Amino acid sequence: MRRSAVDAQHTRDTIIAKAAAIASVDGLEGVTIGRLAADLAMSKSGVLGHFGTKEGLQLAAIDRVIADFRAKVVEPALTRDRGLPRLTALCDHWFDYLADTGLPGGCLLTAAAVEFDTRTGEVHDTVAELWNDWRRLLRAELKHTGLDVDQCLFELMALGPAVNQAIQLHGDRKAPERAKRAARTVLLVKA
């Protein structure tokens, strides 16, 4: 009875997954309706009908990846005690995520931060909000440590993009381990 609605949802999921994969390699602007339709053996209007506009599709792809990031990085760390234990867990999960995002081009959220940092629009706003949320999360935990909050925040925030670049551009597979060690130095925690 509701088979067609289920099918539509499945099609939508498939489109989003493919869009995120393309965006991780070629950027969110590199996601085109025509290419997506061809890759999925659909018509362009069949693709676009699920999202209305290209921007709607970009936002859907970002939202999907943000949900995945929250599930893999943020949620598991919230079981840890506030302050240093939670901070080290957040960082460790972050660096592990960057090494294994499930997308062919690495971390879409890290790439989107650079791609949209000086643009305007909803995509920029969503990306900026995501990273502001992440900063606020780390900042709130840093306040429990007695450390220099702003300086430590800057130094921890640096490690994610560094892991991404070390892996994607330099092929350094040890990057997550180096970042974990660096985070412990910042937080004055013994490895």
Partner DNA sequence: CCTACCGATCGGTAGG
Build a one-symbol-per-residue string for 8-27: x at contacts with its own copies by CB under 8 A, - elsewhere: ----------------xxxx
Distance of closest approach, residue 150 Cβ to its own copies, in angstroms: 7
121's contact among DNA, its own copies, none, with CB below 5 to 8 A by partner kind, is none
Spell out the alpha helix ranges (H) of the chain. 3-26, 33-39, 44-48, 54-69, 75-77, 84-99, 108-115, 122-142, 149-168, 175-186
10 vs 143 by CB, closer to its own copies:
143
Backbone dihedral region for residue 80 (phi beyond 0: left; psi -120 to 50: alpha; all else: beta): beta
Binding residues for its own copies, total number by CB under 8 A: 44
Q: Is 30 in the site for its own copies (CB under 8 A)?
A: yes
Q: What are phi and psi of 78, to 5 degrees?
A: -70, -10
Q: Is 135 in the site for its own copies (CB under 8 A)?
A: yes
Q: Given the rule CB under 7 A, which residues bind DNA?
A: 7-8, 11-12, 31-35, 41-50, 52-55
Site stretch for its own copies (CB under 8 A), options 12-20, 37-45, 75-83, 109-117: 109-117
> To which residue do tokens 């992440």 refer?
134
Question: What is d(CA 124, CA 184) in angstroms, rounded to the nearest whole number?
Answer: 32
Q: Three-state DSSP class for 131? A: helix
How far is C-alpha 71 from the chain's CA centre? 11
User: Binder to its own copies among 1, 5, 45, 170 (CB under 8 A)?
Assistant: 170
Distance of closest approach, residue 99 Cβ to its own copies, in angstroms: 14
